[in-house]
Amino acid sequence: MGRQVIAASSSLLAGVWIVALSAIPSAQSYRDQLASGVEASKIVTAYDAMTVIVPITMIGAWIISSRWLRQLHDAATASSPIAIRRNRTWVFWSWIVPVVSLWFPKNLIEDLLKANGSDEAKSLIGRDTMTWWLTWVGFALVNNISIVAAFDASSDYVPIRPELEIAAACLLTGSYLVWIRIIRVLGD
């Protein structure tokens, strides 16, 4: 199942980059349409069509990763009931429940790496898991900044922010590179 997680994670990363790169010409298209008198609510760009890719691939990656992590959780707790700090329910929900989503998934991954017991798994705990987690949380935050910024924006505000989209894609790339190592160490 690790290969499926890699495939789903790769799809998410590709989707984020597609959206980020489409934001560059789309921001200019938005400005041009706004300058030509098109009402902001009626402006359509390629970015608008592409943004649906991210939630679809993110939900897919979440479901596939959660199924895989649940299998690893079950195997770890079968051999040692106290190996994992959180119960099985949190494997799935810890990623989306507000507040706890800021640290429960990281705890789960570190517990699974400890339960794995290999030197390679143990070597990932600390700097690598922190890098993975901070870049993931950074991606999530940067990805939402433009949404929040648009709430009180003036009528000439361009809601497509290529700089934020590219920054988010870079953060996700950093997270992905460590995540792939974690997946390979934890295996199927």
What pLDDT is attached to residue 149? 79
Percent over 70 (pLDDT), the chain? 99
Is the separation of the CB atoms in 131 and 178 below 8 Å?
yes
Instruction: Provide the residue ranges of all domains of the chain, joining segments of one domain with +.
Output: 2-186
Radius of gyration of the chain (CA): 19
pLDDT digits (tens, 9 = 90+) for 56-100: 999 999 999 999 999 999 999 999 988 899 999 999 999 999 999
CA-based max dimension of the chain: 67
Q: What pLDDT sits at residue 22? A: 98
pTM above 0.85, yes or no: yes
CA distance 82 to 115: 10
* Amino acid letter, 77: T
Q: What is the pLDDT of residue 188?
A: 59
